[in-house]
Structure 1
């Protein structure tokens, strides 16, 4: 009796036709082989267990096969048989993780310089190429860019972002897709038909979901389940993997809506006594919360849910107990719990705290929603009673649009007083110097316009009259400056006044030179700040 061969090795695809869920890649590569237009370097990328290395091996056999069939190897010639047995020296498979140095690449280049012994092409398959060092990548560049016509490279990686751009630009890149659960379940049932055990549909679906899109993981788990029982059922899978199962997850979700933390904790204790993995159980809860979220968002599209058809009705019943914000809040809390579990010493305690919090949050949300509903109902009853008594209900008037405030940074000609004033009504401000000093602290750029000025107060009309002796005052003094001056006066005098000013014409000679300069500048076509303020 020979040594036992694992299922994922025994059922490894031998042709492009057998590769599952990658038609966009197999079709392209087969066409290239049939037309004799294969590239010198390929880069296969994708998650684990999607067929990257398998496709590379099939490609190496196909390009060297003596009797290829539609781009596939015949699997009958001596080249195909020796390649399958691993005795063909012209197909070299290298592990990039353990051969990641410059010396290994130098040996590879020396090997590539020799002609193939039996095959048409010498094919180098480098798996996990992202593990190679920077020096090794640099040593490969020239060989990949201009290899001998009899040499082909096939690189495989799960972390494409670690491969340098200089390597990517020299290869044809193919992205392997994650295999869908339905395709994995179909492959599992196909293998079970040819092996000495049976697999139920529910068990095949659960294995497919747990494998997370990787066929190798699925077949390894199937191999483990087949060792437990020749009839693989859902319970067999849960026992082999250590998962709690949907029944326990649904119980936790119902307990959260029923505010029954005791029932939830009792189930966690039972699973803990059965040595179930608490981290995996938390992940199961998050997966079902995801299903609830999708069911609430897209209730008519069941294809988005990773559940069996018989579980759909139970999930719909649980979804009716939750609101969408409640589901999202619970999902966020459970995912945070999963993150903490990776660092926590007591994972059970982390899960128990999260479940208790979920029960409390659902209780609070239910109470808040119920109270709000009752208040709305009471208000509707009161409104109906008012209307029944003949009292019209007025609709609230739409809010008035506020008009934009006028610009403040404009000249203050509207504050100027031209007429003669009655000196008996105005009282001189004795501490005007203090006001000017305060104004200088606030606005020193404009305070110079008030040099040699005086101020008077008309108490009956609450007016502060400022008499200035600078002819440029009326052009340079702005509304914002007036507000600052009133602020300074209020701080010193203790009263908020209305500002008015008067330019004393008899002192015009003091500012005549500046006025003359302004006029000359305007006559010569030179723009001034006064013209800009006036909108010239």
Structure 2
């Protein structure tokens, strides 16, 4: 006997053998067992999920002379003839090639004749959405008043193309994509039946590539087994599908994050030379980043520079990859699009590094300059209290206009660190949700459009979209303390909150960094300024203001 493909050899022959469609098989079994059989069914779902297989099992079950609990026996003459495709009362029609009105009229003329060897005549019309309008109209009359011995099973992957008048006369069953674990288990069962040595990683990759279709999974498995000479490894599957392994994807993302565009180009062309497909490479890259996001969520981080990138940046990387995938559908030269994608991803990472660089790398020399200027001012007052004029401050405070203190902002930035900021960002939405749940409307309006931009163990700097909200938080001690108490319940830290308006945050941050870089690295020994001021002017005349 000639060789049969695995998806034909292991086609389900009973409801019990069907994988991943329990909601369909249970309903049909119960209907058959209770003799509540409808005259028309619509099976809708993705390709390779068992629509036609279940239709044939259903045809066997309703015509089986020895069925038990709705299951066919697969041993009687009727079951064997339907399995072999020789039963004249089970008619399977491909609507993609027989979609005209004449073919449907032919069915309508013959359906009135009684079945020859079975109890029911079963018409299985596959890809029914391909029928023409005239064919649907011809089928409609038959579905309205079918003979008692006739049952129609319509199968489709695109139910939205079927007229509502047809759908309303059928019992509709929505098939779902088969889950990855179910596909892996079934592939392992097939390999054991065929005495094939396999790697679990290979089965997992096949299940992922099949995208919920068991027929696709079995076809890939069949091809990989032939490539590997009766054995199955992940390398065999990658070679057969033209996919890229996680190690190559890790190397590619490492080069992108290091901004080594030339190295990323070289690796990309090596993959092309090894027979990898560009479309498959783009999809594999998306799946790889998806796995990275899952690792972030579960805390199980692997090797690779991609785990040092912020999660928001990875989301933007996926968006750019998706945009490239859409553009490649209409592209003549897909290689060029992928090379441009490499540059875009590298520039995106570089931009994010520039905007949100680590706070601990900032030079602290600016504060020393301010101390020195104040000391010089005090010395001038001591030498000539009358003639000494107030010197121009190093940085102009914007307090009068915006009600935020540069000194307080600098206090946060001086001690800011990446760990506290990351933890605060991850829990910030919980804070806003907490305020909403407690119906604190005044605080909700304040916190709705906010974002933490710097944090330390004692202070947090919050950016407000509206300048007026920043002013309210900085001036209203009661509201600020309310928010600080809620922050304590969320992150379990007592911190002081400082607000900054979004319209001025970038300029404030830029000025802060530039002033740090402009000063020498060495920090001179600071004097006690308060004590010096008290000695100069007397303790009673000093008023400390934060």
Partners of 1:257 and 1:321 within 8 A in 2: no
Counterpart for residue 412 of structure 1: none
Is the contact made by 2:45 and 2:176 (CA closer than 8 Å) also made in structure 1? yes
Compared CA separation, residues 85 and 386, structure 1 to 2 (3 A): farther
Cα shift at 1:263: 2.3
Identify which of 309, 313, 338 aligns with 1:322: 309
Deviations 1:229-284 (A, max 9, x none): 22200001011111121111111112222222222112101111112111211111
Long gaps (5+) in structure 1: 303-311, 402-536
Given the two structures, how large is their TM-score scaled by the length of structure 1? 0.67
Q: Radius of gyration: which is bigger?
A: 1
Q: Does 1:364 align with 2:356?
A: no
2:202 corresponds to: 203
State the Cα RMSD in Å.
3.0
State the partner residue of 2:3: 4
Task: Tell me if structure 1 keeps the 8 A contact 2:206–2:220.
Answer: yes
Counterpart Cα distance in 2 of 1:82 and 1:14: 13
1:344 aligns with 2:343: no
Counterparts of 1:421-440 in structure 2 under 5 Å? none
Partner of 1:167: 166
Match of 1:261 in 2: 261
1:376 offset after TM fit, Å?
9.9
Give, in angstroms, the shift of residue 367 of structure 1.
Answer: 2.3
| Residue matched to 1:234 | 234
| Change in CA separation of 1:313 and 1:370 when aligned onto 2, cut-off 3 Å | closer
Deviations along 1:46-102, one digit per CA (max 9) or x if unpaired, are 000000000000000000001002111100000001111111111111111111111
Q: Give a deviation string over 1:95-142, Cα, whole Å, max 9, x none.
A: 111111111111101110100111111110000000000111111112
In structure 2, stretches of 5+ residues that fail to align are 378-397, 405-466, 471-546
What secondary structure is seen at the aligned counterpart in 1 of 2:43?
strand
Q: 1:339, CA displacement in angstroms? A: 1.8
- CA deviations on 1:373-392 (whole Å, 9 max, x unpaired) are 75697789999999999xxx
| 1:121/1:152 contact within 8 Å kept | yes
Q: What is the CA deviation profile of residues 165-185 of structure 1, one whole-angstrom value per residue up to 9, with x for unaligned ones? A: 001100000000101111111
Query: 1:271 matched to which residue of 2?
Result: 271
SS at structure 1 position matched to 2:272: helix
On the 8 A contact 1:295/1:319 being kept in 2, the answer is: no
- State the distance in 2 between where 1:374 and 1:351 align: 34
> For residues 343 and 149 of structure 1, what CA distance do their matches in structure 2 show?
51
- Describe the superposition over 1:277-304 as per-residue Cα deviations: whole angstroms up to 9, x where unpaired: 11211111122223334444xx13x9xx
Indicate conservation of the 8 Å contact 1:207/1:221, yes or no: yes
Task: Describe the SS at the equivalent of 1:20.
Answer: coil
Structure 1 residue ranges, 4+ long, deviating more than 6 angstroms after superposition: 376-389
Paired residue for 2:292? 292
* Partners of 1:50 and 1:214 within 8 A in 2: yes
SS at match of 1:174: strand
Under a length normalisation based on structure 2, what TM-score does the superposition of the two structures give?
0.66
In 1, the alpha carbon distance for the partners of 2:70 and 2:363 equals 71
